[in-house]
Structure 1
Amino acid sequence: MTAKAPRTSTAGKAKAAQLILLTLASGQFLMALDSSVMNVSIATVAQDIGTTVSGLQGAITAYTLVMAMLMIIGGKVGALVGRRRAFMIGCVVYGCGSLTTALAPNLPVLLLGWSFLEGVGAALILPAIVALVASNFAVERRPAAYGLVAAAGAVAIAVGPLIGGVATTYFSWRWVFAGEVVVVLAILMLGRRVADAPPDHRPRIDVLGAVLSALGIGLFVFGVLRTSEWGWFLPKSGAPSWCGLSPVVWLMLAGILLVWLFLRWEARLVARGTEPLVDPELMRNRQLTGGLTMFLFQYLVQMGVFFVVPLYLSVALGLSAVKTGVLILPLSISLLAAAIGIPRLFPDASPRRVVKLGILSMFAGAVVLLVTLDADSGAAVVTVPLLLIGLGMGALASQLGAVTVSAVPDEQSAEVGGIQNTVTNLGASIGTAVAGSILITVLTSSFLATIEQSPVIPDEVKSQANVRLTGGAPFLSDAQLTAALEEAGAKSEVSQAALDANATARIDGLRAALGILALAALTALFFTQRIPATQPGSARP
């Protein structure tokens, strides 16, 4: 009897650790799910609540914006009230936002629930998750824990279109948010088992620093998110123009200036012996900045891929949201396998080597898809590339969380969590914006060049196309273009020439976007020297 006691105790601790990890991973899953779950159902949701597609896209943009603006502040709130309490409060706020969204009768209520309340909840939850992993798991177990938590977020983005597609097709999009409320209640029940990471002192909130950081990051991210409508440098047709340049340029410059003022203010507080919102010394920490740089590139490539591949499957091939989601599942499977398997099978593997291999795997996946994609390709062409990209994402997920947190003392883990999630939001925004911008630019030029060379298309139609598409050609399916041509009364030979040009241009645009993403992955290799060559030990005192 006495011999079995230690074994029972060990089994109980292992089960408790699994429940804690499930709780934190579920929180990460929910936060990421909203970034992708409704993308396949935008038209349906817009019609249901009596708004336009652009209005709903604005709500999705606002959710990302609120998260990005408040993430650093959310990390400091966790240090003020306790990490677990911040996590639980964030879950309550997020749950209220999900319930409000599920019942929303119009766009203003949807904005309140989805964009604001869920964004505020996420800003409290995500930094707290980083700190709670550090306080609930020993140093040697953190890579595996961070890997699973990060994988949960990436899987949510991958399966989001499938969940949204199934719910919208067979039930209602509102059931997705109602289901989130149920998940939040389960997390709140399990959250009591999570050990808190109490602050060693009661910090003060730097109000001016909070305002400067929120405005600076908010303006920069908002500028990035508006590039598809306004253009990067020169304003698109019909877009506003500020001194001959796109507003994006001025918003990003204003954001950078405010962030610079924020850092100068924080340095001044430190010089006066006052506690800052973010310690400027963190930005001189080689290991931390290395990990943050990798997070930026990972999410840039990751969200670019999640933008390009569904476009190919759902628009170019005309597949349903459900089939599109199923075809993206190989990425989720390989991602989970790498995120869980690498720490378990190779606990002493060099983080730098794993990160390099992960980046190379993502690069290889993008290149394979770029090379094999053509007008005659079917849906199966994405399977191998997505497996490679998923492996790469899983490899990065298995290391980067532990790399960033081990670079600082444990009491700064929530602060690092806020910065880390700000960087990932920034990377995701840039990745989607760059991929979308390159795709539309190349698609437009390819389409115009092809019809210009076509002998069956009248010169007046070519001239009208050049004028109307100066702001960018839309990414249209064959069915959408056929309907538009029939409505315009185009002749059959003109319609066929336009369809052929559109099919070629779509592939050219997708290839160009994949090429940029592959280049970004390759660029990330130059920054891997900042990643430690050995597994992190205990946090430095």
Structure 2
Amino acid sequence: MKHWRALIVLGTAQFLMVLDTSVMNVSISRLVEDFDTEVTAIQAVITLYALVMAAFMIIGGRLGDILGRRRVFLLGMVVYGTGSAVTAVAPTLGVLALGWSVVEGLGAALVLPSMAALVAESYRGRDRPVAYGVIGGLAGAGIAVGPLLGGWVTTYLTWRLVFAGEVVVVLAVLLCHRAIPRAVPDGPRPRMDPVGAVLSAAGLALGVLGVLQSGTWGWVRPRNPPFTVLGFAPTLFVIAAGAVVLALFRTWERRRDARGEYPLVHLDLLARPPLRSGLLALLSQNLILLGLFFAIPLYLQVVQGFDAFETGLRLLPVSVTMLVTSLVAARLARTAGPRAVVRLALLTLLVAVVWLLATIDPVIDDAQFFAAMAVLGVGMGLLASQLGNVVQSSAAEEERSEVGGLQFTAQNLGSALGTALIGSLLVGALAHAFTAAVETDPRLSAQARQETGVALEAGISFVPTAQVRSAAERAGLPPSEVAALTESYAQAQLDGLRAAVLAVGGITLASLLVTRHLPTGRPARPEEPEPAAGRTEPEEKA
């Protein structure tokens, strides 16, 4: 048991990071109510959390190399706990974004790359795939517990208690820090690359910002942007600016590498086909999962009218099957190989998406929905069981933190893009469907169409149909036209949800293309000697 103490401590941190997002997803409606805001604002807060992690994850990995992975892990837990405390008492949406999205996001960017490296350092040989399987299982457990715990606490108490509880868990992890071995570094430690850090963070931030705001700004034709560029919406220009900054980052990193200086990340790592495929698969995994976990709670809470606890109960099948599958799938990989398991996972996810599309109706069929969620969990569990070990097994010992930074950058970039892209597609499809319905509905007068068009020009939100009914009544429309507008909006909601889920299906199908270079057998590992006696110091204080 002593051999696995470090894994318990490190796995608890992994569990905590995953718990956060799943709690937020099932609490969307309550957050909208508590902060008197709109769904798009909560979408922005969720996306910002993943974006901060993605932007600073490579930096966090490099800091682990410079300051020591164990030290940076513990520092990150302190920052994360501070953010949880701020979130628990947040009086406004701005403070919520500061505590959760920014401070907790920065803490996670320090914790996760160091955690991945510490798992690899602490467990060798046959123990390493087991350790990564447990880490994947605990991620599944976070997804399992999050919707149910968060839903129950949000419905019957307050979502703030979840974050207060996180502070207690962080303190427990810090008290158990001696269980984490501290490796003695070989050779000189690298230095930080501040220019590369700024370029990478700015490039990723601009790219995701453009995708996030596309639903509000419009992709080409301006909808409600703060400014225009040559008469066009700024969305594509902001995304292009992000691409230019990332191109500058690539040039800068290669120049530093050529001069023998420490780059923020050795881009030659991405030339390794198994590592590159593993990172792209991780990005796809989180894009699919977070895209669905943004759209599905909206369907359950806004369309069906369920509270957070009822939403958590309906998400329980995906959580349970993901946890169980991720724990048992390691054996399957030994015989079939990671590539086959990942492809099976993506095909399983495709089945789940098609099944889910068939269940999005005005009246939910709980049996069909539960079955679709269970299949979704199986697919996600298969992915979670493989990709962390594939990525880390493509790295040598001295590359652990750097590869860990890339690993969690890919994951959180996928999370940010999933919430931003699927959210913007959902709102865009809703607006298009509602506009088309209003223009062609013979029950509506010209005045009703004009007033609705003016309201749509100011932007559209994913809100309960009761709010649309109330707005139409306040506008003085007759009951027949109020009913017509409400019916059109209700149908547009379903059309928007179906478009979002269909987009996830397309991404899932396209993700099969990135699996080509995944290992066909057991993941190949660089030859690493077992740690010599005295190389770790479990009892050394931080």
Query: Considering the TM-score relative to the shorter chain, is it more than 0.5?
Result: yes
Change (3 A) 1:177 1:83: same
Q: Where does 1:136-535 land on structure 2 (aligned, <5 Å)?
A: 136-157=122-143, 159-200=145-186, 201-237=188-224, 239-344=226-331, 347-470=334-457, 473-535=460-522
1:303–1:431 Cα contact (<8 Å) kept: yes
Which digits, 9 at most, give the CA deviation of each residue in 1:357-412, with x for residues without a partner? Answer: 00001111001111343334334432111111111111111111111111120221
Pick which of 142-151 and 120-129 moved more: 142-151
State the 1:198 CA deviation. 4.1
State the 1:48 CA deviation. 6.0
State the 1:509 CA deviation. 1.5
User: Separation in 1 of the partners of 2:304 and 2:37?
Assistant: 28
User: Separation in 1 of the partners of 2:382 and 2:418?
Assistant: 19
Which digits, 9 at most, give the CA deviation of each residue in 1:20-69, with x for residues without a partner? Answer: 33322221122233334234545755776798877666554443332222
1:135–1:196 Cα contact (<8 Å) kept: no
Which digits, 9 at most, give the CA deviation of each residue in 1:211-251, with x for residues without a partner? Answer: 22122222222323322322333332354323323333222
Change (3 A) 1:197 1:480: farther
Which digits, 9 at most, give the CA deviation of each residue in 1:426-471, with x for residues without a partner? Answer: 1112222222222222222222333333332212212332343246
**TM-score, normalised to structure 1's length?**
0.90
User: Separation in 1 of the partners of 2:136 and 2:282?
Assistant: 11
Q: Which residue of 2 aligns with 1:12?
A: none
The one of the two structures with greater contact order (alpha-carbon pairs below 8 A, sep at least 6) is 2
Letter in 2 for 1:424: Q
Match of 1:71 among 57, 63, 66: 57
Q: Helix, strand or coil: the match of 2:176?
A: helix
User: Separation in 2 of the partners of 1:461 and 1:476?
Assistant: 20
Change (3 A) 1:152 1:487: farther
Change (3 A) 1:308 1:104: closer
User: Separation in 1 of the partners of 2:472 and 2:70?
Assistant: 58
1:366–1:385 Cα contact (<8 Å) kept: yes
Q: Where does 1:44-63 land on structure 2 (aligned, <5 Å)?
A: 59-63=45-49
Pick which of 58-67 and 88-97 moved more: 58-67
User: Separation in 2 of the partners of 1:316 and 1:19?
Assistant: 45
2:304–2:364 Cα contact (<8 Å) kept: no
User: Separation in 2 of the partners of 1:47 and 1:510?
Assistant: 21
Q: Which residue of 1 aligns with 2:11?
A: 25
2:77–2:107 Cα contact (<8 Å) kept: yes
Change (3 A) 1:332 1:189: same
Pick which of 374-383 and 186-195 moved more: 374-383
Identity fraction in percent? 44
State the 1:96 CA deviation. 1.8
Letter in 1 for 2:50: T
Tell whether 2:110 aligns with 1:124: yes
Pick which of 439-448 and 116-125 moved more: 439-448
Pick which of 66-75 and 32-41 moved more: 32-41
Pick which of 172-181 and 191-200 moved more: 191-200
Q: Helix, strand or coil: the match of 2:386?
A: helix
2:394–2:525 Cα contact (<8 Å) kept: no
Which digits, 9 at most, give the CA deviation of each residue in 1:246-303, with x for residues without a partner? Answer: 3332222222112111111111122112222111211211111000110111111111
Q: Helix, strand or coil: the match of 1:531?
A: coil
User: Separation in 2 of the partners of 1:54 and 1:453?
Assistant: 27
Which digits, 9 at most, give the CA deviation of each residue in 1:122-179, with x for residues without a partner? Answer: 1110101110111122243333322332343354346434433322332233211110
State the 1:107 CA deviation. 5.3
Q: Helix, strand or coil: the match of 2:385?
A: helix
Q: Which residue of 2 aligns with 1:95?
A: 81
Aligned residue-pair number: 527
Letter in 1 for 2:483: Q
1:224–1:433 Cα contact (<8 Å) kept: yes
Pick which of 515-524 and 112-121 moved more: 112-121
Q: Which residue of 1 aligns with 2:540?
A: none
Change (3 A) 1:109 1:315: closer
Change (3 A) 1:536 1:18: same
Change (3 A) 1:184 1:397: same
Q: Helix, strand or coil: the match of 1:37?
A: helix
User: Separation in 2 of the partners of 1:181 and 1:134?
Assistant: 27
Q: Helix, strand or coil: the match of 1:196?
A: coil
User: Separation in 2 of the partners of 1:265 and 1:346?
Assistant: 39
Which digits, 9 at most, give the CA deviation of each residue in 1:72-125, with x for residues without a partner? Answer: 110001111221111111111111222233234455654443333212211110
Letter in 1 for 2:89: L
User: Separation in 1 of the partners of 2:475 and 2:488?
Assistant: 17
State the 1:339 CA deviation. 0.5
Q: Which residue of 2 aligns with 1:84?
A: 70
User: Separation in 2 of the partners of 1:340 and 1:82?
Assistant: 30
**TM-score, normalised to structure 2's length?**
0.90
User: Separation in 2 of the partners of 1:223 and 1:196?
Assistant: 41
Q: Helix, strand or coil: the match of 1:35?
A: helix
